[in-house]
Structure 1
Amino acid sequence: MRFSTLAEWLAWQETLHPKPIDLGLQRVRRVYDALGSGAAPFTITVGGTNGKGSSVALLSAILRAAGYRVGTYTSPHLLRYNERIQIDGEPVDDATICEAFGRVDGARGDTSLSYFEFGTLTALDIFRRAGLDAQILEVGLGGRLDAVNIIDADAALVASIDIDHQEWLGDSRDAIALEKAGIYRRGHPAVLGDPEAPPALLSYVDEQGIALHRQGREFGYSMDGAGWNWRGSTGSLRELPLPAMPGKHQLLNASAVLQLLQLVQTRLPVAESAVRRGLETVRLAGRFQLIPGAPAVLADVAHNPQAARVLAEYLREAFGGRRVLAVFAIMRDKDVAGVVGGVADLVSAWYLAPLAMPRAATADELHPLLAAATAAPIHGGYADVAEAFRAARRDARADDLIVVFGSFFLVAEFLAQMASGVEVAHGSTVKD
């Protein structure tokens, strides 16, 4: 085997391919076929601009509550690479991943693979050997040309559609929708969780003969006191518990997940009791993750305008009246103005946290963009994320809320520092 540790393998993979993102399926499919080792498990593929991770978590929690053995592949990770490849809710260990890395390396010959492609093939190889009842694959970017799309999904869900990753996917909802709809397959269940279906997507599924189930049409939900009701294309459920993941937007995700599960009942029957147990036990780090304290901290990976608007809605709903201080970082290729504009009227002060990566926008780049959107004070010049957070905490009153958001990488570094004991929160502990 080329390397003996996970860290060595990952460092090498980062240098293997000339492009960090190289959309296309031919190279990945060729290596997948060379790997062999049997048929893929029943496959559910999940795409979307936002809500992918939550939908995967909901699907996994409900199916595991029903007694199924389930693998999930997601990206990126927050604390450890192993989070990306999980079986029955537990990250796969280093040794298993390294062994699979070795098999992928041996099967690829002289085919160059990106970091994401290498990881995708590794997950698929592990899952094919694990005796799973189902594998749930999260699209990394787009859908049509994403590496996970080498597998013909037995059922597919697109959670939401909005503007993001324009450099690769296009600069309109219609263009992006066509890329995401590429995970649907004719003759297999296809679900759209976004209640506003772009016309191009509807034309595409009609041309392809795909029977699409849409939020607000074939299925939907309504609030019912402290719970909610769900109606599907062939049945309904009443007085369900709210998903354990906070935020009203999770009902959009949960509603679409229940419709998909209803459509695959002949293959993966799920009792109502398992639905309830899955909703009550689902967890996902980095999404409205509350860290109790005085002040409290909320960590969220919102990094596009749609996600920022959802974050703002949750702040009004759950923390209305409290002063909000934002520890913020974002990639320069994102719609920075759109993200900032989504929450600007709620933020009393901004603390610009530096990230040691080329894609990250610097404080000098962010300052004029924020100044154009808000009159709130903007603070920068910090050495690292921990220093930016400590500055926010020094300025915060006990009843304030500090929100750490704008990038997966920011939330990952913040949570990693807390997990390793770096003093960023004066003894606060992380609770998922």
Structure 2
Amino acid sequence: MSLTLQQWLSRLESLHPTEIELGLGRIEVVYQRLAISDRLPRVVTVGGTNGKGSTVTMIEAIALDNSLSVGAYTSPHLFCYNERVRVNGCVVEDCLLVEAFEKIEQVRGDISLTYFEFGTLAALLIFADAKLDLVLLEVGLGGRLDATNVVSSDISVVTSVDIDHTDWLGNDRSLIAVEKCGIARCGKPFVCGEPDIPESLLLTVEEIGCRGYFLGVDFQVESGNEQFTYTLTDEAKQEGVNVVTGAPELHPNNVACALQVTALLWPEISLEDSAHTASAVVVPGRQQWVDCKGSAKVLVDVGHNPHAARSLARLLSQFEGKYEVHCLIAMMHDKDIGGVIEVLMPCVDSWSVASLPGVSRAAKGQVILGELNNKGGTGRCFTSPADALDEIGLSENSLVVVFGSFFTASAALDYFRVSL
């Protein structure tokens, strides 16, 4: 009898001795056995410390607005695994994932694959069978040794470079940049949205021999008078196009990356229309405003590192003096909890911290509270985000920010009955 999707996912969690094992040796062999590569269309691979999923979703929206078929692979998910694999903007059904897992199982032999490697191959199989115009892949961790890098992409993107996943990538930003740049390919376009470009990244681009397009050098974003102006370049970097929009829902640097990719992929597509499409995209859990029916303003964000906290702090600065800002934070124990709190401290008037029941990687609420106290802050500790939200006063002059992880965002969106 065939396993259900949930049974497959439970099985995948126990197939490999470790949750994460970077390297392409195992997945490369199975990828070749599945004979996927010749059946894939053009591929864009998107890496970066933050902004990967948002950039993928904006390119996806632009493609769909222009009647192009597109597959998108992102991770992790908020509510259900199927969210990770979308075809033409729709999450795939259980049966497609199960069928893909069965095919992988038939050919992998004695090769042990991680949960993420299995999922990546399944997504690629589904995309290959769907006969698409474009495939978008979000890097899981790092880049050079990530499972998504088994595919030689036609365009690679690094949205940002900062410190995260230090157990795997270390805490040297220069070395992290080299790892992220490892998704680039010789002779192919490489789009970089990091404004503070590490020298190591520039050297790696030169060594690989890809064609670099850098934010602030080859393409631009400028703001003023509540408008954003994006300057995009053609493949030869000989002609620039300016487009103007209102304030985007997502980070303007990521919008700029999505638009520059669009300019390279489809020169015939209107960049003005694309800019308006990208600016209107909302990605669940990414600085997402939640409607609380006239009470407090609520903002939910999956961000989980100081770089993401700085982006959130810039957004919160717009509301200084207008609202009492209350932050509910729940994070993984292997993240820079103190660093995140330190960044947000000037923007927050009061704090709650919470544990995440059932999440083995989660930091206990008391641990987060200790970090908050170490930074000179005080707050209340709760057993779960839901318990905290029950106690937080949602008055009209308050702004409640829920931040710290995908699990935290998922719990908050579930609490407010927000579905995808």
Tell me which moved more, 185-194 or 346-355.
346-355
2:127–2:135 Cα contact (<8 Å) kept: yes
Question: SS at 1:22's partner residue?
Answer: coil
Question: SS at 1:216's partner residue?
Answer: coil
Identity of aligned residues (%): 39
- Name the structure 1 match of 2:406: 408
Question: SS at 2:345's partner residue?
Answer: helix
1:158–1:181 Cα contact (<8 Å) kept: yes
Equivalents in 2 of 1:280, 1:214: separation in Å?
A: 20
- Name the structure 1 match of 2:359: 357
Q: Deviations over 1:238-289 (max 9, x none)?
A: 453246524xxx21111122222222336xx422354145225422100111
Question: SS at 1:398's partner residue?
Answer: coil
Equivalents in 2 of 1:155, 1:97: separation in Å?
A: 26
2:34–2:104 Cα contact (<8 Å) kept: yes
- Name the structure 2 match of 1:27: 26
- Name the structure 1 match of 2:50: 50
1:163–1:171 Cα contact (<8 Å) kept: yes
1:65–1:277 Cα contact (<8 Å) kept: no
Question: SS at 1:232's partner residue?
Answer: strand
- Name the structure 2 match of 1:245: 249
Equivalents in 2 of 1:261, 1:243: separation in Å?
A: 19
Aligned counterpart for 2:370 among listed residues 354, 368, 372: 368
Partner amino acid, structure 2, of 1:95: C
Is 1:192 paired with 2:196?
no
Aligned positions of 1:46-85 closer than 5 A: 46-85=46-85
Equivalents in 1 of 2:321, 2:108: separation in Å?
A: 54
The alpha carbon displacement at 1:224 in A equals 5.0
- Name the structure 2 match of 1:379: 380
Q: Deviations over 1:312-345 (max 9, x none)?
A: 1101124653111111111111111111111012
1:324–1:403 Cα contact (<8 Å) kept: yes
Equivalents in 1 of 2:60, 2:321: separation in Å?
A: 32
Tell me which moved more, 327-336 or 396-405.
396-405
Question: SS at 1:195's partner residue?
Answer: coil
Equivalents in 2 of 1:32, 1:257: separation in Å?
A: 28
The alpha carbon displacement at 1:397 in A equals 3.0
The alpha carbon displacement at 1:211 in A equals 2.3
- Name the structure 2 match of 1:424: none
2:72–2:137 Cα contact (<8 Å) kept: yes
Q: For residues 216 and 99 of structure 1, do their structure 2 counterparts lie closer, same or farther at Cα, with a shift above 3 Å needed?
A: same
Partner amino acid, structure 2, of 1:346: C
Q: For residues 207 and 344 of structure 1, do their structure 2 counterparts lie closer, same or farther at Cα, with a shift above 3 Å needed?
A: same
- The list of structure 1 runs, each at least 4 consecutive aligned residues, that deviate by more than 6 angstroms after superposition, is none
Partner amino acid, structure 1, of 2:298: V
The number of residues matched between the two structures is 412
- Name the structure 2 match of 1:333: 334
The alpha carbon displacement at 1:374 in A equals 3.0
Q: For residues 325 and 179 of structure 1, do their structure 2 counterparts lie closer, same or farther at Cα, with a shift above 3 Å needed?
A: same
Equivalents in 2 of 1:2, 1:113: separation in Å?
A: 20
Equivalents in 2 of 1:222, 1:120: separation in Å?
A: 36
The alpha carbon displacement at 1:223 in A equals 2.3
Question: SS at 1:325's partner residue?
Answer: strand
List alignment gaps of at least 5 residues for structure 1: 420-429
Partner amino acid, structure 1, of 2:254: N
TM-score between the two structures when normalised by the length of structure 2: 0.93
- Name the structure 1 match of 2:222: 222
Equivalents in 1 of 2:246, 2:172: separation in Å?
A: 33
The alpha carbon displacement at 1:168 in A equals 0.6
| RMSD over aligned Cα atoms | 1.8
Equivalents in 1 of 2:247, 2:148: separation in Å?
A: 27
Question: SS at 2:77's partner residue?
Answer: coil
Equivalents in 2 of 1:69, 1:277: separation in Å?
A: 20
Equivalents in 1 of 2:278, 2:209: separation in Å?
A: 33
Equivalents in 2 of 1:59, 1:19: separation in Å?
A: 33
- Name the structure 1 match of 2:180: 180
1:230–1:236 Cα contact (<8 Å) kept: no
